Structure 1
Amino acid sequence: MAGAALLGAAGCDLAERVPGLPGTTPPNREGTNVVLVIIDSLRKDHIGVYGGERAVRTPNLDSLAKDSLIFTRAHPESMPTINARRAIHTGTRTWPFTDWDPPMGEDIILQGWQPIPREQTTLAEVMRANGYGTFFVTDNMHQFKSAYNMHRGFDAFDFIRGQTTDNYMPNWTYPPEKVDQALMKGNVPAMTGQMKQYFSNVAARQTEEDWFAPQVFSRASEMLEAVSGTGSPFFLTVDSYDPHEPWDPPEEYLKMYDDEPYDLKEPFSVIYGPSDYLTDRELERMRARYSAEITMTDRWLGRLMDKMEELNLFENTLLLLLSDHGIGLGEHGYTGKPAYILWPEMTDVPFFIRHPDGKGAGQTSDYIASTHDVASTVLGYLGIDAPEQMTGQDLSVMPDDDPDDDRSHFTSGYHDHVWTTDDRYVMFCRHDGTDAKLYDVEADPEMYEDLAAQQPDVVKRMFDGYVLRDAGGPLPVYDPLPEPTV
């Protein structure tokens, strides 16, 4: 196929390394393929099928949703990027970060941000042990480092280079006018370097096919073409970094959301923190750029779905689609993804499961689905026993049956903050219970009225009864570390 796909390392014997790994018992649904789509930083409220005033043009996501079971209360097990993917690939909770050991030389210092532990088995390894061809396409630069083990278990994987700060091209080849245009008031020096690297990486783009989401979904379509005729079932993971910033879509997409004259700085990227560095017009432009990036990504997801239809794969393929987290665009006075803005724009993500037999198509579930449920769901559907470490729920039994865990509440974590919810409230705070915010999401679903001062008993009940109980005791405390710049 176009672009040499790198072969996964054979490594040592898997059964010897991980005792209790399921054997090669034939799946109950023999010949069923699996496609897993991960879309970074995709907010639930921007997808048409979820409704709401912030929904943008997502015809392909909406079409997929009509054929899928739709989870209306999906939240990441932990955040951000690497934490969420550790949970997706291993089916194992990353929070409460008790095993955190910051990798040497890493520029992102966040609790839980580290490679997949060697003793944990990945979903791809289990699938390969059960006779599946395993394939991976992504442009998510944080997964490129081989030490992170995100590629473990895949027979072939393709990493598309050039996103954001990837040292892909010499960073002195950038167009100066683009970098100057991108530097908003208050940008830290690190942002200058990021923009120089990014615009150097993309300087050779000519057509829309050269943008990142088009490359990812086009390469995934090529993989489908190559593997669908082999006669063996396959597991394909497609992981798109878009619509993560920088928001730099082709101009025609931006005009869908902002066709008014604009002569200010271009918010290609974002400062993590208070949004007061932006004028109202700049914030409007930033939101338009994010929306445009989603619509472009949706279009090329549609190309992948077209390829699946062309190859008659929908009839024998389980398809899951979800995101790792969202991003703040000034709704509560903050932009980006700092750990302390755990409002719906950060924590509410899409999650679809499309069964090949159409079960649950177009139905919704308010069960709290999460990133670490992916592995258990895939293996459960195929009738493959999951390793004991995979503690997520098998969501494939829905809507006919309920998962084993009723999830009357759920707890998540991001660096030194925790977030927890039940049927009525959402509470988030620092890891020691301070700086708590409490919201009645029945009355205030977008979480603007903080009730923590009026209802300290509810805050205490949720912290002691949910957070500490789920964590198995007090959360780990690490020496203060510098706030990440990206």
Structure 2
Amino acid sequence: MPKSFYKSLGFVFLLCLLAKLSLANDRPNVLMIYVDDLRPMTRDYGHPQMQTPNFDRLAKSGLRFENVYCQVPTCGASRASLMTSIYPTRLRFPDFLTWAERDAPGRATLPQRFKDSGYTTISNGKIFHHQTDTQKRSWSEPAWRPEINGRTYYNEATAEFMETQTDTRRLRNGKLQKKVPMFEPGLVDPMKTNDGLIAEKTMNDLERLSKEKEPFFIACGFAKPHMPFYSPAPTWTPYPVDGIELAEFRELPQPTPESIRTVREQFSYSFMTPDLKRQLEYNTPEFHRYMRQGYYASVTHADNLLGRILDKLEELQLDEKTIVIVLGDHGFLLGEHNEWAKNQLLHDALRTAMWMKGPGIAQDAEVSSQVEFVDVYPTLCELASIELPSRKIHGKSFAKVLQKPKAKHRDAAYTRFGIGDALTTDDYFYVLWQPSGEKENALLIDRKQDPLFQSNLSGQEEYAAIETQLHKQLLGKIRQARQIKTTQKKAEQKAAQNNGPQVEQKPLRIQATVESQNPHGVVLAHGGYRFGYSLHFEEGFPVFSIRNDGKLTTLKSKERLQGKVTILAMLDAQKITLQSDGKLLAQAPSPGLLLKQPVGKFTVGEDFGDAVGDYEGPHPFNGKIHQHRVITKD
């Protein structure tokens, strides 16, 4: 073959290589900053009391999103959905313990797309809920977190308090742990806090990677303002507790839907005042003010660290070629409806904060159109010229909105949690709960007429046509979520046990053989906070719990058991009984047969979702369960 052919071939190869290098140099870097539990609570979002100059600066140099919604209002599930651009279902991405690797194995993650396209991808702090989730395929280097965490306290006074603290909480492994205080104005350098160390690592990575030829995708995850509210003392100063205003409406919408749930996350902490001198009474006006003070201070701490990172970008002259996206992972209730945190389908738990800035992005403008978290994935990929298979994701790129902020993106945003699904439009907020074996119930809010979400209009004749339309639209979203199939390792196990035996109005007999030197945790559970039953142990003592129309009946053995034992729990119309190996352990008058079939999963070894008994789920069993069975009679 002539030499000219090889020369031509070499020239073509050189052109391809130069084109590839040029593309690498032209592609933008990405800096993604996740702020745990951040709601739209900054000055630029219309809250003048907030000291957030760096969030304000970010909004002026880019875009603020007014109507961005998470897909699931809980950490692990929300992040897994965003990072895969896949909608949740009842079995996929169900709760805060979600692993993307288990619920959507093999599905390319957002950082994986960048990594496979030649980017250096870095994870600092909390990005996925679990540090090692999809780690090998998502990140160029092992995901990094500090040795301390969001529960780490900094003051000697707090350490002394903890020495004599007797209030405890139950961990998932069944062990007891002392509750840390909810509040601490820390006597600590901001950069020595958990989030300060994450910011420092991120700034060091920016400096290191600025010298490399390959573009980067850095994800930085701050822990605050997640509870407990620990931040440096100066961040508390702008917020005197006596001057803090309460949420304007502190009741649930009326009439209240039967399936609406309350949250208990806040009870994992001790309600001592910040000076640790006295206990606060839950949900009093004083309690509300201190909770808001702590949250505000934590937001200001996050703002301080954000400013340092933005300064570093400018110092390294990276700001003109880096797309910056800053966002919460869901919303957060700050006393609205007398509720706290997330893990429920109330509007403030779903709407979150988000900003973007960078090359080609409009400045000092707001996007009012609905945006979903699943849309972040395809948008960032489009900006980086990364092609995506459209049928494998639910997200829709909003890249056009970045240059034309007034453009329409979506008409509605979809969110789900537990047995409920929600749809948010410009005019309405609609939630539909579909409990198994029970009547659907719903929440319909007219957002324009009722901005405080006080009146539930579901079932009212004048809103019948609107509710029918929203109901149809929401069912379409649910079908769309199910169209993308994932092989769910964890979810398949749950699904096999999901329905449980038919126990409505039937005598119930539970038999289980277990083995543990100090049995503790749930042996089996079926249902939730309205109707259900569970057999569990508390430090060796067997407990049989029955939920009948929300009322809890608990039968606890007076005898501690250990080793390998067989437990028999029985419910009939006359009595409720506990036996072990033929010996009567406890007996009491019956609370009655279950009036309705329990809603929710039948689980063995733990209790997911709404706990049946007087414990915090999942409350896993700490030993072996050799066999179990539930027998009913007509």
TM-score, length-scaled by structure 2: 0.60
Quickly say closer, same or farther: Cα 1:111–1:143, change in 2 above 3 A. closer
Quickly say closer, same or farther: Cα 1:474–1:349, change in 2 above 3 A. closer
Displacement after TM superposition at 1:190 (Å): 5.7
Quickly say closer, same or farther: Cα 1:141–1:255, change in 2 above 3 A. farther
- One-letter amino acid of the structure 1 residue matched with residue 456 of structure 2: D
Secondary structure of the 1:322 match is: strand
Pair 1:483 & 2:610 matched: yes
> 2: CA distance between counterparts of 1:39 and 1:393?
23
> 2: CA distance between counterparts of 1:66 and 1:92?
31
- 1:339 corresponds in structure 2 to 344
Displacement after TM superposition at 1:460 (Å): 4.2
- 2:71 corresponds in structure 1 to 77
Pair 1:154 & 2:139 matched: yes
Displacement after TM superposition at 1:453 (Å): 4.3
Residues 9-37 of structure 1 deviation map (CA, whole Å, 9 limit, x = unaligned)? xxxxxxxxxxxxxxx89859724211111
Displacement after TM superposition at 1:279 (Å): 2.2
> 1: CA distance between counterparts of 2:466 and 2:429?
9
- One-letter amino acid of the structure 2 residue matched with residue 66 of structure 1: K
- 1:177 corresponds in structure 2 to 161
- 1:40 corresponds in structure 2 to 36
Quickly say closer, same or farther: Cα 1:164–1:69, change in 2 above 3 A. closer
Pair 1:301 & 2:296 matched: no
Displacement after TM superposition at 1:193 (Å): 7.7
Identify the range of structure 1 (361-370 vs 252-261) with the bigger mean alpha-carbon deviation: 252-261
- 1:464 corresponds in structure 2 to 471
Displacement after TM superposition at 1:132 (Å): 0.9
> 2: CA distance between counterparts of 1:444 and 1:352?
27
- 2:456 corresponds in structure 1 to 450
Displacement after TM superposition at 1:197 (Å): 7.3
> 1: CA distance between counterparts of 2:230 and 2:45?
25
Quickly say closer, same or farther: Cα 1:190–1:127, change in 2 above 3 A. closer
Quickly say closer, same or farther: Cα 1:442–1:259, change in 2 above 3 A. closer
Quickly say closer, same or farther: Cα 1:338–1:133, change in 2 above 3 A. closer
Secondary structure of the 2:340 match is: strand
Displacement after TM superposition at 1:97 (Å): 3.4
- 1:354 corresponds in structure 2 to 357
Secondary structure of the 1:152 match is: helix
> 2: CA distance between counterparts of 1:283 and 1:180?
26
| Partners of 2:70 and 2:329 within 8 A in 1 | yes
Identify the range of structure 1 (280-289 vs 425-434) with the bigger mean alpha-carbon deviation: 425-434
- 2:217 corresponds in structure 1 to 235
Displacement after TM superposition at 1:181 (Å): 7.7
Secondary structure of the 1:293 match is: helix
- 1:283 corresponds in structure 2 to 288
Identify the range of structure 1 (73-82 vs 470-479) with the bigger mean alpha-carbon deviation: 470-479
- 1:89 alignment partner, one of 78, 83, 99: 83
> 2: CA distance between counterparts of 1:454 and 1:460?
9
> 1: CA distance between counterparts of 2:165 and 2:50?
26
- 2:332 corresponds in structure 1 to 327
Pair 1:67 & 2:67 matched: no
> 1: CA distance between counterparts of 2:203 and 2:176?
30
- 1:407 corresponds in structure 2 to 410
Pair 1:253 & 2:238 matched: no
In the TM superposition, what are the counterparts of 1:412-431 in structure 2 within 5 Å?
Answer: 412-431=415-434
Secondary structure of the 1:418 match is: strand
Displacement after TM superposition at 1:442 (Å): 1.2
Residues 74-97 of structure 1 deviation map (CA, whole Å, 9 limit, x = unaligned)? 00022311111112222222x223
> 2: CA distance between counterparts of 1:154 and 1:58?
31
Residues 196-247 of structure 1 deviation map (CA, whole Å, 9 limit, x = unaligned)? 3768xx9x98533221221111111111011111122111111112111111
| Partners of 1:212 and 1:242 within 8 A in 2 | no
> 2: CA distance between counterparts of 1:82 and 1:460?
31
Residues 272-292 of structure 1 deviation map (CA, whole Å, 9 limit, x = unaligned)? 9xx982321122011100100
| Partners of 1:427 and 1:462 within 8 A in 2 | no
- One-letter amino acid of the structure 1 residue matched with residue 26 of structure 2: E
Pair 1:129 & 2:116 matched: yes
Displacement after TM superposition at 1:115 (Å): 3.9
Displacement after TM superposition at 1:314 (Å): 0.7
Pair 1:394 & 2:521 matched: no
- Computed over aligned residues only, the root mean square deviation of the Cα atoms, in angstroms, reads 3.9
> 2: CA distance between counterparts of 1:111 and 1:234?
27
| Partners of 2:370 and 2:425 within 8 A in 1 | no
> 2: CA distance between counterparts of 1:458 and 1:410?
20
Secondary structure of the 2:368 match is: strand
Displacement after TM superposition at 1:194 (Å): 8.2
Bigger proportion of residues as strand = 2
Displacement after TM superposition at 1:113 (Å): 7.9
- 1:214 corresponds in structure 2 to 196
Residues 358-414 of structure 1 deviation map (CA, whole Å, 9 limit, x = unaligned)? x31111122211211111111111222013423312222224469999522222112
Pair 1:311 & 2:308 matched: no
Displacement after TM superposition at 1:430 (Å): 2.0
User: Using CA pairs below 8 Å that are at least 6 residues apart, which structure has the higher relative contact order?
Assistant: 1
> 1: CA distance between counterparts of 2:97 and 2:217?
30
In the TM superposition, what are the counterparts of 1:371-382 in structure 2 within 5 Å?
Answer: 371-382=373-384
Quickly say closer, same or farther: Cα 1:395–1:109, change in 2 above 3 A. closer
- 1:18 corresponds in structure 2 to none
> 2: CA distance between counterparts of 1:110 and 1:431?
23
- 2:44 corresponds in structure 1 to 49
> 2: CA distance between counterparts of 1:180 and 1:346?
35
| Partners of 1:111 and 1:415 within 8 A in 2 | no
| Partners of 1:164 and 1:246 within 8 A in 2 | yes
| Partners of 1:326 and 1:348 within 8 A in 2 | yes
User: How many correspondences in the alignment?
Assistant: 431
- One-letter amino acid of the structure 2 residue matched with residue 134 of structure 1: T
Q: Please identify the structure whose Cα radius of gyration is greater.
A: 2
Quickly say closer, same or farther: Cα 1:356–1:404, change in 2 above 3 A. closer
Secondary structure of the 2:50 match is: coil
Displacement after TM superposition at 1:307 (Å): 0.4
Quickly say closer, same or farther: Cα 1:406–1:473, change in 2 above 3 A. closer
| Partners of 1:25 and 1:384 within 8 A in 2 | no
- One-letter amino acid of the structure 2 residue matched with residue 258 of structure 1: P
| Partners of 1:438 and 1:450 within 8 A in 2 | yes
- 1:265 corresponds in structure 2 to none
Secondary structure of the 2:229 match is: coil
What residue ranges of structure 1 are gaps of 5+ in the alignment? 1-23, 103-107, 169-173, 262-268
Pair 1:441 & 2:447 matched: yes
Secondary structure of the 1:292 match is: helix
| Partners of 1:427 and 1:439 within 8 A in 2 | yes
| Partners of 2:77 and 2:97 within 8 A in 1 | no
